[in-house]
Structure 1
Amino acid sequence: MKIKSFLTMALLLAAMLSLSGCVPGDGASNAQHPAGFFWGIWHGWIAPVSLVIGFFKHHIRVYEVHNIGWWYDLGYYIAIISGFGGISLFRRDKH
Structure 2
Amino acid sequence: MRYLAAILLALVLSACASQVDTGVSEAAGTPGFWWGLWHGFVFPFAWIGSLFDPDIAVYAVPNSGGWYDFGFFLGITVLGGGSWFSSKSRSK
User: TM (normalized to structure 1)?
Assistant: 0.57
> 5+ residue gaps in structure 2?
1-26
Quote the residue 2:23 is aligned against. none
Report deviation, 1:45.
0.7
Q: Which residue of 1 aligns with 2:64?
A: 68
- Higher-helix-fraction structure: 1
Give runs of aligned pairs for residues 24-39 of structure 1, distance below 5 A.
Answer: 32-39=28-35
Cα deviation 1:59-93 (Å, max 9, x = unaligned):
2111111211110000001111222234247x442
Q: If the length of structure 2 is used for normalisation, what is the TM-score?
A: 0.59
Q: Which residue of 2 aligns with 1:93?
A: 90
Partner residue of 1:44? 40
Q: Take 1:86 and 1:41, find their aligned partners in 2: how far apart are those partners?
A: 17
Query: Over the residues paired in the alignment, what is the CA RMSD in angstroms?
Result: 1.9
Which letter does structure 1 place at the counterpart of 2:70? L
| Residue number in structure 2 paired with 1:53 | 49
> Percent of aligned pairs with the same residue?
36
Amino acid at match of 2:90: D
Please tell me whether residue 79 in structure 1 is matched to residue 75 in structure 2.
yes
